Chain A
Amino acid sequence: MSQFEDLNRLLAQGIISRREFMGRATALGATAALSSTILSSPSFAAMPKQGGHFKIGMGQGSTTDSLDPATTLHTGTQIVNHAVYNYLTEVSNTGDLVGELAASWEASPDAKVWNMKLQKGVTFHNGKSFGPEDVIASINHHRGKDSKSAAKPIVDPITDISADGTDGVKFTLSGGNADFPFLMSDYHLAILPSKDGKIDATGGIGSGAFVLEKFDPGVKITMKRNPNYWKSGKGHFDSAEILVIADVAARTNALTTGATMAMDRCDLKTVHLLKRNKSITVTKNTGTQHYTLPMNAGRAPFDDVHVRLALKYAINREALVKTVLRGYGAVGNDHPIGASQLYFNKDLEQRIYDPDKAKFHLKKAGMSSLDVTLSSSDAAFAGAVDTAVLYKEHAAKAGINITVNRVPADGYWSNVWMKDPWSMSYWGGRPTEDWMFSQAYAAGAEWNESFWNNERFNKLLLEARAELDSAKRREMYGEMQKLVRDDGASVIPMFASYVGALAKNVGHDKMGANWDMDGLRCMERWWLV
């Protein structure tokens, strides 16, 4: 274990490269997935223990936060959702899909109709017993013309939901989707108790491991254990509180002085100092979160695939991971599928920094030099502006002149992203390939940030979605990753890890990498030793 730690320190300090790290880690007998989580396992094998008061400091959180799952925006409220509410399905800590309120499910052969059998004997915090009507009302909260839900594009393909007996729900979709149960684990789609076919979206009543006591948005959220929780082996704290501590130095101080027991979003610039503290463990999870630089494929010069390739060869990914992420991440290969995902294409060659190849593609595009403007703001991700400036230096060697246009973080998503020809963005990632591709790469998708339209890709996407044979899907998703990598209009230089810190007395199993904070389920999964 200590050898890994040494390796990781060398990596963080830039003494060895990422590639070397992976090589040496493999030599030590670690798989890629293991070496990314190896550091975070002090209480790995310990048995969960009941009791205690858990305090966590979260970086995101605002007075304007709401309990309405339709507008859940950031990790601060996402973990509240997963503590207070349950979902139909859950992505487990090993990345598999398991049932939560849905006990089991089966699809029609064309994957258009889904029958879900619901858990029996579940009661909400207000005493109402859980039934199909709650599922229908909760999902309908996000559907329909008047929906303001951020999850609307996810539930839009549902044409009908109906009860199937007293413990079943039938979903009818407009097109086949083999990943439909995965979609139901989305953090917006919480199941709340219904009353007359409607849910009280801001009432804070769910069936989760914790009963909400006080919701003081932007300050503190307190909850106590649900004594009637239906899941066994989950929800260990007697009570818990989430403190919103926006300032990273204050958040770190709170953890080091024992005022909190966990924090998210460590300051990567100082995390090596935090690691020296013997009573604290720094956790790192590299999953699906990645940073993108989407070009508008419909506008010159980005409509030429050679220009896009030139730009992709002109970025030094290793250097960015080393400097911007301080080693807490992995290089990207210009497609959005993470190495931990089921259908990740292992045979695809990693694209590296190659100014000569960039020049070659520029020549193919009929240019000797290229002037482009990249709009950048730290609203896209922490370190976005630094990334843009470094990229400018890398690209200059290939005869590409990037002008970095620094824009305000305020209103970035509404005024710059998908408006300027070339901007920066991030994706928390989605648990399935189909989900990621359909939201951000399918032609006509609301968030197709690069306005990319590839006929073959779009055809494969529809076919793979309705395909239930796993081997065939692997082949199709493999080809799609290649298409996005070689023809797509997004430069995807890196996958960023979630870096948090825990006091030594916080116990946990292997952490989920699908989202931050143990797949957002830290409240019900962690315990105090």
Chain B
Amino acid sequence: MALGLIVLFVVSLIIFLGVELLPGDLAQAMLGQQATEETLAAFRKELRLDLPMHTRYLEWLFNILHGDFGRSLANGREISELIGVRLGNTLFLALFSALIAVPLSLTLGILAAMYRNSFFDRAVNILTLSSISFPEFFIAYILIFVFSIKLGWMPSLSNVSTETPIGERLFVSLMPALTLTLVVVAHMMRMTRAAIINLLASSYIEMANLKGLSRARVILRHALPNAWAPIINVIVINLAYLIVGVVIVEVVFVYPGLGQLIVDSVQKRDIPVVQACSLIFAATYIMLNLTADILSIITNPRLLHPK
């Protein structure tokens, strides 16, 4: 945990310096072509951008330690309020996609391992590898073309809001969730397959086969429990991706998530918002990695005692 906090601190410092190093500042970005020296100076003064870098960073750090994310420099809104809704949306979409993608890829992976080198195995591999090889926006456009424009079953926009009822929310988020599923399934499915096949060569599996157990029982009861650790790690990496890496899908489906927020904020150099978003992203990675470690140890207590 202590290590995690240090990582968060370092991340915040790097992000702050990174945004500072970018050319231009918020005042210039907001006024664009219409900026004049005088208005820029007045704008900077109002936003306290005229203070030296370290003063602003320390101020921000002090406030954040007291639980205050501050306000957006661009429009003066509370960052916690700004991020709250968006984070909810992002988590909802990530969870929704995960609920489709994880069971699907585990099932496919196990089946592929069971019927190794069969037609089924090959077909699943080709399909998932093709879907991961296409850029996300391409998959998204294909889905929109088929389901929204040609068939007219699904809306092409997923602009959910806090008032959207849950049923409708699930319906409009289905297309982005499917896009994300297609993008992440290959990785998890192939890891599941590989981890199981890896174990199939072990002597205890051979023993189980010789006992005359069915193929399904050998894989589910004997191989799978030992394969969980690597599978969990890959699942978690993909979950983290579903939370922090979906900006393109958000743009194509106009889904108001955190990705769009951080892109907008970097463009306008709205440092407090960028900082808050990156802290959330960093914390997501740290928490999920921690979860992966704990789960791996639970499924395989031998990991607690390295050789």
Contacts and interface: CB of A to CB of B under 8 A. Distances in A.
Contacts of B24: 410-411, 414-415
Interface in B219-277: 251-254, 256, 260-261, 264-265, 267-268, 270, 273
B159 A220 contact: yes
Nearest to A62: B264
Contacts of B30: 64, 71, 73
A425 interface: yes
B74 interface: yes
Interface in A42-95: 62-68, 71, 73
Contacts of B38: 145, 147, 152
B82 interface: yes
Nearest to A147: B42
Given A66-B75, A218-B261, A253-B156, A150 B34 contact: yes
Interface string A379-419: 00000000000000000000000000000001101110100
B284 interface: no
Contact of A73 (B32, B159, B256): B32
Contacts of B270: 64
A413 B251 contact: no
Contact of B157 (A63, A145, A216, A250): A250
Interface residues of A, number: 45
Nearest to B74: A64
B101 interface: no
Contacts of B168: none
A63 B264 contact: yes
B46 A217 contact: no
Contact of B152 (A218, A246, A249, A257): A257
A62 B270 CA distance: 12
**From A66, A68, A150, A415, residue with most partner B Cβ within 10 Å:** A150
B256 A219 contact: yes
Contact of A253 (B29, B39, B144): B144
Contacts of A149: 39
Interface in B1-55: 22-24, 27-40, 42-43, 45-46
Contacts of A71: 30-31
A67 B152 CA distance: 36
A411 B28 contact: yes
Interface in A250-267: 250, 253-254, 256-257, 259-260
Contacts of B260: 63, 218
B76 interface: yes
B198 interface: no
Interface in B137-191: 141, 144, 148-149, 152, 155-157, 159, 161
A253 B149 contact: yes
B76 A250 contact: no
A145 B33 contact: no
The main secondary structure of chain B at its interface with chain A is helix
Contact of A152 (B39, B161, B253): B39
A498 B34 CA distance: 20
A252 to B, nearest CB: 9
Nearest to A151: B34
B72 interface: yes
Contact of B161 (A73, A216, A410): A216
Interface string A216-230: 111110000000000
The main secondary structure of chain A at its interface with chain B is loop
Contacts of B75: 64-68, 202, 217
Interface residues on B, range: 35 or more
Contacts of A259: 155-157
A146 B32 contact: no
A414 B264 contact: no
Nearest to A247: B251
A64 B22 contact: no
Nearest to A245: B254
A411 B252 contact: no
A341 B72 CA distance: 41
Given A257-B148, A257-B155, A259-B156, A64 B265 contact: yes
B265 A63 contact: yes
Contact of B23 (A63, A220, A245, A414): A414
Interface string A191-225: 00000000000100000000000001111100000
Contacts of B40: 148
Contacts of A147: 38-39, 42
A217 B270 CA distance: 14
**From B22, B252, B254, B260, residue with most partner A Cβ within 10 Å:** B254
B130 to A, nearest CB: 22
Contacts of A202: 75-76
A71 B24 CA distance: 17
A185 B64 CA distance: 43
B81 to A, nearest CB: 11
Contacts of B37: 446
B31 A249 contact: no
Contacts of B152: 257
Contacts of A4: none
Contact of B76 (A66, A145, A244, A425): A66
B125 to A, nearest CB: 30
Contact of B252 (A220, A249, A446): A249
Given A62-B268, A253-B149, A245 B33 contact: no
Contacts of B149: 253, 256-257
B138 to A, nearest CB: 11
A247 B72 CA distance: 24
Q: Which 7 A-B pairs have the closest CB atoms?
A: A64-B74, A411-B23, A411-B24, A148-B43, A66-B75, A150-B34, A63-B264
Given A71-B30, A413-B33, 11 more contacts: A63-B261, A68-B75, A148-B27, A148-B46, A216-B256, A250-B156, A259-B157, A410-B23, A411-B23, A411-B28, A447-B36
